[in-house]
Structures are given as structure tokens and as C-alpha cells.
Structure 1
């Protein structure tokens, strides 16, 4: 799906002018769908002790149930982006919601049967649904707002990710207690229908732009060989690695090391992604307003603040201090998680904007995929202290890379 930078009202593929229609309903509908996807993605982390006992798996295998959705996105994202640059993102989002419903029911049945391989396969299908909604949502939202509000709009859409994570962390144990842990999968899949009922009518005429040429293979190749694009993708990789490490293992750390209940640990851990609801919008606003459209200062700030907190997290032993650390670190790292998607779009031609977003999604989510698995292995071998220290090293690399990052 191509995008027309700076135009909130370009003519759509169905010939309808969209300049006279406010895009806020579209943004809210797309965000609600993405909230459901975010909750579905992370919810195994909120019930890890239950599923480990039920399925008889270790920490790495449990971590894989979270990571596999991101791993699927790593593989599928770039092909999805190429297709979106040639088709209709609106219909793609609707189809992805259908896939998510299938994945949710499949996961529920697999969990009830105690079949780890089948549950893992259902999560792969859910990962495909996720990457379609994420890339297509950023594509539609980015095209629907003018250039001076684009980072804010895209940041607002990406705030659906942490909101979904928070919902998954906080509500997952409640659903598991009432209906059994396998029920978390269809519950969050079905909730995507709420967003779709708002997104579908408000997105009419915005699914596909016709004022940019269809990209050639050479155009697409220029995206994946662009050095500036790679730098932003590297920043996305490091930020997502730190973010998913904290989301995946903070609940278990709070339960096993601080001896908090699973429900309390889930609520406290939910603070880390939940603060991103504000943070991701703030990142866009800071960039658009305070820094006059510059993206690099905000990204640098994100790593500078979050890195020492993550690295020293296991030194914090009292609940109020842990809560403060989760809030500050979660706010800081997520300042850049929405912004990088607006950032990378501005480094390429509008006709390949969706491909650039998809490429960033692929590289960035590689960090999300690898982080929980590697952390699980490290925790099993050396304990939580070393794992959090390694996450701090990743943050330090982010500081260095952000220092040398280009401006859009």
C-alpha cells in the first residue's frame, strides 16, 4: 500500500474524495483492532505458570508461545508490505481479523487438549494476522493525516500495542481463573470485532491511494539496501528486544523472586506496557512540536532514560520502587516505539512507504522474537540478574546507534 506524504485527503482507489471526512473514527477503529491483537500476542506471559504446569513445558518453551507471533511477523512482514503496496489495506485488515478468530478458537482447543505443538501452530496463524493489521494500520493512518500531524497519528495508533499488552497482562489471569487459561485466546480474538465495526465504515475510500505509481522491484530493492533505513531498523530491533524482555519476564520475576501472587504480578507488570498509551503519543508530539519534526532526539532520549533502569531492575526489592521503575522505564522506551514507524516512512519515496514500514516491522520484531527466548535460556542458566544486565547492554547499544542516526 503506497502512501501520499503530507496529504490527508488524497483520492482513493474507489474514486471517493476523503478530504471532507475526519479520520478520527478510522484511527480509533484501527487502534481497537490492534489492542485485541496486542492482548492476544502477550497473554501467554500473563498465565505462564498455569500453562507450564498444564502443558509440562519449561521456561524457553513457554517464552516461545509469546515469541512465535513476533517470529512469524519477522518472516511475513516484508512480503505483506510488498502486497500492501499493491492492494487495499482496508480489506486486508478485515481478512486479518477473520484469521485471528480462527487462531483464537484453534488455540483454545489446543490448550484444552494439552497439545503444545498445536497451540504453537495456532500462534503462528495469529502472528500472520498481527503483522497484516500492524502494517496495514500504519499505512492507512499515516496516509490519512497531514505531514505535521503524521508522527502524532502514527504514534497514537501504535499506542494500541501497549494498551493491548496491558489488557493481556491484567485481564488474562482473570479470564483464566473464570474459564480456564485456554480461554484467553478466543476471548481476545473475538474482541477485535468491536474495532472492526468502527473501522470498516470510517475507512471507506482510504484503503488504497491512486496518486502514486506502483513500485517496481528496483524501488523495493532500494528500500532494503538503504543505509538510513537500516539504522532506524536497528533502533527498532534494540527497542523491541528490551521492551519484550520486560513484558515477557517481569511477571515471572515478580512472582518467583519477590513472592507476589500471579494476579498482583500481572497487574504490576501491566504498568510497563500500559504507560505506553501515553508515551507513544507523547513521542510523536515531542517530535512534531518541540523538535520541529526531528525524530532522532526523542529516540536518543528513550534509550538514555530506560537503559539504567532495566539493567539495575533486580536490585529493586520493594514494591513501590518496582512500580516507579516499571512506569519510568516503560514510558521512556516506548517514546520511540511508535515514532520509528513515522521515522522510516520519511526516509523513502511515498510509493514504497508500506514496504519500509514492513521492513522495519520485520527487523524490529526480530528483537521481539529473540528476546523472550534468549532471556528464558539465560534465566534458566544464570538467573534473573544476568538477564536484566544483558537487556541493559542492548539499551546501551541503542544509545550509541541513536547518537549516529540520520534525521528524516
Structure 2
């Protein structure tokens, strides 16, 4: 027994750690992509003023991105399955940068809508490329943390975009902001091509010990089967059970577990995207903050989201023993509570800042679990299809909710918006309760 422990320790010490370099590239790339989509929030009041657009029209502009982003998910999943992420991801990054630059050249509202729609198509393959890369580059016990870090990058992009965008607008104008945000992507496309192969064993920087660890074949893991913790009554509520891996695209599309997860993600993504697109307008028009104050305060939900994604991923992996539903449920309930709190939010700078930071943290505790969940149901070859279905549903919610918000603001008030978002989070909880919590399955090591 002692010899086995020494052997496992020796393997760990000799194991390369290149998968964490890959994750670092994923985080930086997705942070930039998220900033490219989030910068519309700080620019929106200026675009509305220049072109005389109503709130409903502004909602359509925001939703145009997410509509085409959603429609592009499933085709992107099949393309990634055929061509691999080493080719697809750099092309998607490059196109994202080009279209972001074009938004800054638009001279009528119709062209901005066209370019925002094109941005959705350009970015559609990015989250699937990154989730597929995580699925291939990380063992089961690290996927929650890695996915949490990946999704925290989206929040970091949303943290960067408002203050940086506000500073550029103050110094120049909103068009210059889009042009500046477009530049780094071209370099990052090359970095991805150089550093992220499709498969760990094809990478010269990954030794055999790390490749075995990624495939769950290290000596420590090839002995007696890991005994899963029993959570008793909680497991009955979660419907914790062994499920056969979804081994074909047809089985993925026929699985209610995948659809239920996707519908829950649709509703929670809607909440996130309303905050992303409309929060600066709320802070300036309702709370009457100055532009640079708006820039920093609008970033706070996403700063909280960075912490929430990482803590939630770790909690799901380590404390909950890879169970994903509990954190989804926590986020849904907590988000509803925070939306009610925002209805009665005070006008003080500190109070609003703390409330928005807390909202972002609680909303994102379980946000990464919606993406990790289907990893426990699929093989590595079918995961891109499952991820594309879940993400397509999620981004459909991202398209619908900002549009509904625009109509609610034209007809009612921000109180109606926050009530709408609270109802969305409770509906997400209802869908999550209908799906099973998959116990560990005998997943093939490679697809």
C-alpha cells in the first residue's frame, strides 16, 4: 500500500502540467470575445442618441447578436466534430475581430444590426471549441473547476468592457471603442494555433504521465474504483443515478436530460444578458450615476461572476463529488431573491455596488454547471453536439430576454424588468428539477 502511494506521488511529480497552459489560453481568448460582445452595453445610449432609436429597437440590436449566436451553435458543433478546434477556433477568433471593427464603421442603425448579427455567427464556434477542448484536456475531477475558469473569462470580459469602453468614449467616441477592442483578436488567433492541439497526446509538451492523468489512467486511479460519496436524501431529490452514455448524435437529441438542462440554461442566460446589455442604462437613467461610475459599477456583477464561477466549479467538483444540479438550483433560487432586492435597491453608490456584486456571485455559482452537466452524459466524441444543443438553447434565452426588456421599458418600468427576471430564474429551477443527476459512467477515453 505504501509502495503504491509512493508510486502515485512519483507519477504526479513527473507529470507535465501543460493542460493549465491550454486553460490559460482559453481564458484570455474568451475574455476578449466576451468583451467584444459586452461593449455594446456602454455604447448603447450613445448609439440610441445618434440614430434616434427607441428602447425596443435597442433591444432588437442586442438580441440580434444572441439570436444568430444561438442559431450558429448546432452547426458549429458538427463542424468542430469534423474539423477539430485547432482550425475552427482561430478562424472564429479572427472573424470576431473583423466584425467588431466593422461595427465601429457603421453609419446607420440598420448596418449596426447587420454587423451585430454577423458577430453572433462569428463567435458561435468559440464557446463550443473551448468546452470541447476542456473535455479533451481535463480529467473528470478537474472539469468543473476548468469550466468554471472558462466561464469566469466571460465575466472578466464583461468586467473590462464597461470601464475601458467608457474611458475610450470619453477620450474619443463610441466608434473608436469598437475598433480598439477588435485589435487583440488577430494575435490571439495565432497564439491558439501555435499552442492548442486537438488532442493532448498529439502535443509534444504533454508527457505520458499527464496524458494518462487526463484520460483517468494514472496509477492512483487505476486501482480500486473510486467510491462515490452518498448524500442520502439529497441524492433522492437530485435523482442521482447511473445513466448510459449518449453515444450518438441521435441519442443526444432524444435525451430529456440534455433538453431540460438547455431550457434551464436558456432562462439563466437571459438574466445574465439583460444585465450585460441594459445595466449601464439602468445605472445612468434610474440611479443617475456619471459615465465613469457607470463603467465601474456595471462591471461589478461580472466581477462577482468571476468569483462565483470559480467557487461554484470547485464546490461542484470537490464538495459535491461532481454533482452539478445542486449549484444550478442554488443559483436559480438566489437569483430570484436578488432580483426582488434590486426592485428595492437604494440609490447610494456603495449599497448598489455591493448588491450588484452579490447578484453576480450568486447567479454564477451554478452557471458553469449547465455546461459541465452534459459531460457526465456523453462520450468525448458526442459532447460537442450536446454542448451545442445546450448552448444554442442558452443563447436563445440571451436573445429573447434583452428584447423583452426593451418592450417592458417602453411600456412599464425597471420594476417590471426585475420581476420578469425573477420569474425566469424560478422557471429555470423547475426545469433543473426534472433532469437526472448522472453518476459516473464508463466513458471512453477518447472520441
TM-score (norm 1): 0.88
SS of 1:351's partner is: coil
Which residue number corresponds to residue 394 of structure 1?
424
CA distance in 2, matches of 1:176, 1:207: 43
Correspondence 1:103 to 2:99: yes
Correspondence 1:222 to 2:251: yes
Structure 2 stretches lacking a partner, 5+ long: 1-14, 203-246, 439-447
1:47-73 alpha-carbon deviations (Å, 9 max, x no partner): 221111112211122233322221111
CA distance in 2, matches of 1:158, 1:312: 25
CA distance in 1, matches of 2:57, 2:296: 23
Larger radius of gyration: 2
Q: What is the 5 A alignment of 1:148-159? A: 148-159=141-152
Correspondence 1:403 to 2:433: yes
Contact 2:331 2:367 in 1 (8 A): no
Which residue number corresponds to residue 242 of structure 1?
271
Contact 2:304 2:357 in 1 (8 A): yes
Cα deviation, residue 343, structure 1: 0.7
Contact 1:299 1:336 in 2 (8 A): yes
Structure 1 stretches lacking a partner, 5+ long: 1-18, 210-217
Which residue number corresponds to residue 335 of structure 2?
306
Correspondence 1:60 to 2:56: yes
Q: Does 96-105 or 193-202 show the bigger shift?
A: 193-202
CA distance in 1, matches of 2:388, 2:198: 22
Cα deviation, residue 370, structure 1: 0.7
Contact 2:43 2:174 in 1 (8 A): yes
CA distance in 1, matches of 2:254, 2:421: 28
Which residue number corresponds to residue 370 of structure 2?
340
SS of 2:367's partner is: coil
Cα deviation, residue 328, structure 1: 1.2
Which residue number corresponds to residue 257 of structure 1?
286
Aligned residue among 111, 115, 122 for 1:118? 111
Aligned residue among 27, 34, 37 for 1:38? 34
SS of 1:350's partner is: coil
SS of 1:239's partner is: helix
Contact 2:264 2:431 in 1 (8 A): yes
Correspondence 1:163 to 2:156: yes
SS of 2:381's partner is: helix
CA distance in 1, matches of 2:400, 2:118: 18
CA distance in 2, matches of 1:125, 1:90: 22
Aligned residues: CA RMSD: 2.2
Which residue number corresponds to residue 94 of structure 1?
90
Correspondence 1:378 to 2:408: yes
Q: Does 182-191 or 299-308 show the bigger shift?
A: 182-191
Contact 2:91 2:189 in 1 (8 A): no
CA distance in 2, matches of 1:284, 1:238: 20
CA distance in 1, matches of 2:275, 2:21: 32
Aligned residue among 72, 76, 95 for 1:76? 72
CA distance in 1, matches of 2:121, 2:26: 17
Contact 1:74 1:363 in 2 (8 A): yes
Which residue number corresponds to residue 316 of structure 1?
345
